[in-house]
Amino acid sequence: MRAAWRWFGPKDPVTIKDIRQTGATDIVSALHTVPTGEVWPLEQIRAHKQLIEQNNKSNSALVWSVVESIPVHEDIKLGRANHQHYVDSWITSMENLVKCGIKTICYNFMPVIDWTRTDLKFQLPNGGYALRFDQQKFAAFDLFILKRDDAESDYSEEEIIQAKSIYDIMTGDEKSLLTQNIIAGLPGKMTDAYTIDDFRDMLVNYKYITKAVLRKNLFSFLSQVLPKAEQLGVKLAIHPDDPPRDMLGLPRIICTAKDLDILFSALPSPSNGITLCAGTYGSRPDNDLPAMAKQYGSRIHFAHLRGVSRDEKEQRSFYEAEHLESDVDMIGIISALINEEKLRDKTENSREIFIRPDHGHQLLDDIDKQGNPGYSCIGRLKGLAEIRGVIKALNANLSYAS
Give the footprint of ligand DNO on this chain (CB under 6 A): 68-69, 106-108, 114-115, 188-189, 239, 277, 304, 359, 374
Nearest distance, CB of residue 374 and ligand DNO, angstroms: 5
In the bound state with ligand DNO, the residue whose beta carbon lies nearer, of 54 and 180, is: 180
Nearest distance, CB of residue 288 and ligand DNO, angstroms: 21
Enclosing H/E stretch for 66: strand 63-68
Is 281 annotated as catalytic? no
Pairing of strands 129-133, 119-123: antiparallel
Q: Of 356, 295, 301, 354, nearest to 323 (Cα)?
A: 356
Q: Rg (Cα) of the chain, in Å, rounded?
A: 21
**Which residue blocks in 169-245 are alpha helix, DSSP H?**
172-179, 196-205, 211-232
Q: Which of 48, 83, 301, 304 is catalytic?
A: 304
Is 358 annotated as catalytic? yes
CA distance 6 to 163: 35
**What does residue 51 show for φ and ψ, rounded to 5 degrees?**
-60, -35
**Residues 118, 133: contact at Cβ < 8 Å?**
yes
Q: Which of 239, 301, 323, 361 is catalytic?
A: 239
Is 48 annotated as catalytic? no
In the bound state with ligand DNO, the residue whose beta carbon lies nearer, of 108 and 309, is: 108
Q: Of 294, 292, 260, 4, nearest to 109 (Cα)?
A: 260
Q: Which of 48, 73, 323, 359 is catalytic?
A: 359
Q: Which of 86, 107, 281, 375 is catalytic?
A: 375
Nearest distance, CB of residue 190 and ligand DNO, angstroms: 6
In the bound state with ligand DNO, the residue whose beta carbon lies nearer, of 103 and 304, is: 304
Question: In sequence order, which residues have a C-beta less than 8 Å from that of residue 150 and are 6 or more positions away?
Answer: 249
Nearest distance, CB of residue 349 and ligand DNO, angstroms: 22
Nearest distance, CB of residue 217 and ligand DNO, angstroms: 16
**Residues 92, 82: contact at Cβ < 8 Å?**
no
Nearest distance, CB of residue 366 and ligand DNO, angstroms: 16
Q: Of 95, 62, 68, nearest to 303 (Cα)?
A: 68
Is 201 annotated as catalytic? no
Q: Which amino acid is present at 126?
A: N
Q: Which of 358, 361, 366, 377 is catalytic?
A: 358
Is 375 annotated as catalytic? yes
N-to-C CA span, the chain: 25
In the bound state with ligand DNO, the residue whose beta carbon lies nearer, of 22 and 116, is: 116
- Give the single-character DSSP code of 212: H
In the bound state with ligand DNO, the residue whose beta carbon lies nearer, of 316 and 380, is: 380
**What does residue 59 show for φ and ψ, rounded to 5 degrees?**
-135, 175
Is 377 annotated as catalytic? no
SS3 of 344, please? helix
In the bound state with ligand DNO, the residue whose beta carbon lies nearer, of 134 and 241, is: 241
Q: Which of 119, 129, 167, 277 is catalytic?
A: 277
Q: Which residues are catalytic?
A: 239, 277, 304, 358-359, 375
